[in-house]
Amino acid sequence: MKAVKCAICCMVFLALSVPVSFAELPTVVIVTTGGTIAEKTDAKTGGAVPAVSGKDLIAAVPGLDKIARIEVVNLCNIDSSQMTPEMWAQLSKTVDAHLAGPKVKGAVVTHGTDTMAEGAYFLELTLKSGKPVVFVGAMRDASEVSPDGPANILNAVTQACSEEARDWGVTVTLNEYINSARDVVKTNSTNVQTFDSGEKGYLGYIAMGRVIRYNSAPPVRKLPIPDKLPDVAFLSTYAGDDGSFVRFAADHGAKGIVVEAVGAGNVNAGVYEAVKYAISKGIPVVITTRVYHSGVWPMYADQGGGETLEKDGAILAGDLPGPKARLLLMLAIAKEKGDTSKIRGYFTR
């Protein structure tokens, strides 16, 4: 009997002392698209250029193999200034296909920071899977003294594996701060602390290998990816604008137009007449604002004021930034066949 007890004790001791095997770790898919995180300084030009493979990215992150099993998918390696909505459509389909694996816990997308907020929002709108997807990048390339890419990747994988990250959908996570894809904006062209969500606040924070949850993600209305994305023009107005660019877009094939207005969603008389002209041709026109906080509201009833624009058929985008409003309008036009009355509902937060 004593021998049996000793044998049992030894088995318990061994079970507690043996570390979790590699096979038991969660699986995270890392889809690479390029950006500063995958660049190095070119000796001839002195500027950063694409140079690092997905395999190299992962190899530069010590301790990653203790968190998850990593599967790397190399989609492309370009600066994110070269990204297009069509490429994000392909990215969305690729991520969905890999998240369908039953053993896959979540996905990490490495992406350039210039258009990361837009790319993340496109996937937020179109992904079918509810598993966590973390967009990550870097503000310093791999050649610099203290590149931020490795730590950002480690944090992104940590988040993808964490139960605290449930129901966040797609996030942008850099410098330990977690932002919702809808609300995140890039605020600094060089500093590592560039992404934030303004007055909406961060979803959470990553410290000492743990995800600390602050807020829930805003709700999202999913949209299918069409075979062809419609052409939507994005135009920012300015003092003295005569509306000619809006008219040009309306006359040259634009299926929708997003106007980045001033203040709470106001334009001058020339742009106002151009917006009405576009609407008269059955083209949905969405009004956003260049102002960082709050959004557009039907406050002013003068010529070109937000209230007047809304009464004349324009769609007010609320607090959704112009570049993201363009992506949402593309998908909504395709889904609703250009029906402005139905499209309007997608822009209510």
Pick from 124, 146, 145, 149: nearest CA to 137:
149
Question: What burial class does residue 265 get, using C-beta atoms within 10 Å of its C-beta: 0-12 exposed, 13-18 middle, 19+ buried?
Answer: buried
Buried residues in 148-184 as b, exposed as e (16+ CB within 10 A): bbbbbbbbbbbbbbbeebeebbbbbbbbbbbbbbbbb
Catalytic residue among 27, 32, 33, 36, which? 36
Q: What's the chain's Rg over C-alpha atoms? A: 23
Task: Kindly report the number of other CB atoms within 10 A of residue 142's CB atom.
Answer: 20
Query: Is-contact 156 195, C-beta < 8 A?
Result: no
Largest CA distance in the chain: 95
Task: Say whether 194 is catalytic.
Answer: no
**Look-up of token digits 């007890």:** 5
Do the Cβ atoms of 306 and 278 come closer than 8 Å?
Answer: no
Q: Which residues participate in catalysis according to the annotation? A: 36
